[in-house]
Structure 1
Amino acid sequence: MSTLKERTFKYWIKIYCYNNAFIRPIKHNIKNEFVGNTILLLASPYILLNYWFTLWYEKHFGFKKVERLMNNDRNKSFMHELAVVSISKNEGPYIVEWIEFHRMVGVSKFYFYDNESQDDTEQILKPYVEKGIVDYIKIPGVGRQLDAYNDAIKKHKHECRWMAFIDMDEYLMPSEPFRPLYQVVDDVVYSAGGGAAGVGVNWALYGTSGYKKKPAGLITENYTHRAENEYYLNVHIKCICNPRLVTNYISPHYPLYIRGGYTIKEAYGTRIIGWGANKIIYKNLRINHYYTKSEEEYAAKRARGLGDRAGIYEDSHFERYDRNEVYDFNMKPYIDELKERVNNYPKI
């Protein structure tokens, strides 16, 4: 049985490979490991040359260019300070709570991609669409998550100052209750300068809290136990970024920016390489990740399959994600108002 430290080291190696723009498609799409590794070996001179050129360009040109573009944007007005992009399949029971919570913390627009839902998702979203709060887009097919993200950037990058890319089981939270998220992002990213073009927000991974069946009531009220801060899966981040500086979303967790741009840690203002950030303290922002919910709900989630490619989660997935070591009900300040909003739906 490997130790947590050994598993964490292997995880960082995986993170690097997953987020390299050249390596990832090979590792991701070529199922034969020998063939994939052979291609990478033959391509290693190109990978190294590209790496060193990027370092040189960033130092001499890229960082200054990004900082100039960010400062120009700072003085502009946008239709929305913060928009959320998400893709979903059969998440109808959770939509209203998820939208209303994020509206409470400053999100004014949702670009919602529906990946062949067979429940009442479209009908539930109708009042939000009519009010202009949600743009509803149908996106059929398997593994369309990155297609959805890149479509939102292409079509809407000039409508909002910041774009956040999260799933329906992820709740973006300011550490200071009710403070608008976009104000936090402004403070964190603009103060960092250099090539900072977005902020990475770590997971706080919540488990089943002992529930086998789906309980009545709010997700945010029922699930109150999570993994310890430094649990290795909490190194995952999701990004809130300046969409005008993104060239391509290559992972559900992380975009590629124009050369010189990068994501920073929410707590330290330092650069993130890939989709992992350790030394987690949740200083300014966090993502409450209600991944499993109850055992019953996790089984339904697993049956829906992966978002960014074909396939389902492996059997060991549940054991790694069902973490309940720490009692943390940091959602408590929001619950009364959130209940009222959910109960008043469809009155918006």
Structure 2
Amino acid sequence: MIRTLAFLVLLAGPAMAQDPAEAAQTAAARLDSAATMLAEARSGEARVDALTETVRAYEDGLSALRQGLRQAAIRQRQIELDFDARSGEVSRLLGVLSTLSAAPTPLLMLHPSGATGTARSGMILSDVTPALQAEAEELRARLEELALLQSLQENAAETLEEGLAGAQEARAALSEAIGERTDLPRRFVEDRVSMAALVASSDTLQGFASGLAMTVAADGEAPPPDASAFRGELPLPVDGTILRRYGETDAAGIERPGWVLATRPRALVTAPAAATIRYTGPLLDYGNVVIVEPAPDTLFVFAGLSETYGRAGEVVPQGAPLGLMGGETGEVQAILSESAEGVDAPRSETLYVEVREGQDTADPASWFSAEMRSTQ
């Protein structure tokens, strides 16, 4: 699918910015690499890594295709509007070119005022013809580009359908592989009774975070990760756009001490750094939540997921999948309609990101670089 995607994005040539084409080529190379990793995977962790990379390649490739189609639709409208505005000029140009091509050569050289007039008209024609040829070349190039753009959009449906199906299959396989994984190091074994009691008794995120230490039944052998050296440089946990920053109020006047990220449906959420999973599951009014500990006495809270991965006590590496966002990826025709209208794919899901240091919250900007994506 990604190879076809790269071809379709590149097909539009100058009609598109170069970034989507480069993104499609990169996704194609990454998908090939992920397929090789998957074929060579011998352990549960290696299979999870390969499937994670496969999901990311599909996500990036589909994003590149959406952006490419949107730019192609915009370019097509520009050409069509230009033709409408210059319809009279184009018609006259076509008429002149048709007359010149239809007239016999001797008649083109004959002038009623004799040899002098014939010479003068020949000089004028020699001056005019290059300009006509240049305009004709420009018109031909525009018509070819328009036909190419129309062909691109007509052939995009099959590629989109393949890509959406491939991404869904990769997500399902990833969920299954994570469920079967048993080779992650563990820092501790969770006391499930204590955890259930803590969830039931907590009425604030602060209270829940404070009580996490009491849910450890036994210590494991894995050392605690420490990402303190990478403060301010960590990638976002998901490919998203910051809607609200630390302390900003929403339309309802609610202020939360964290970031709200807008993401696309079914986007993959990953660990920004090596971390210990402290909790996964539903919590208060936050929906499904993943809480990880990337450094001593520091917690990252990711809330609003549809599915969560992993078990409390496991130490996951940077980039490990933590869950999926909810929502529907959309039907092919709906995506094509968005592209035809020049509308970017909606980021309809929101992930809440909160950082806790000890008993206090901290601005996520002190840990994350908003310019960095989790898939990089």
Q: TM-score, normalised by structure 1?
A: 0.23
Q: Which has the higher helix share?
A: 2
Q: Whose radius of gyration is greater, 1 or 2?
A: 2
Larger RCO, structures 1/2 (Cα 8 Å, 6+ apart): 1
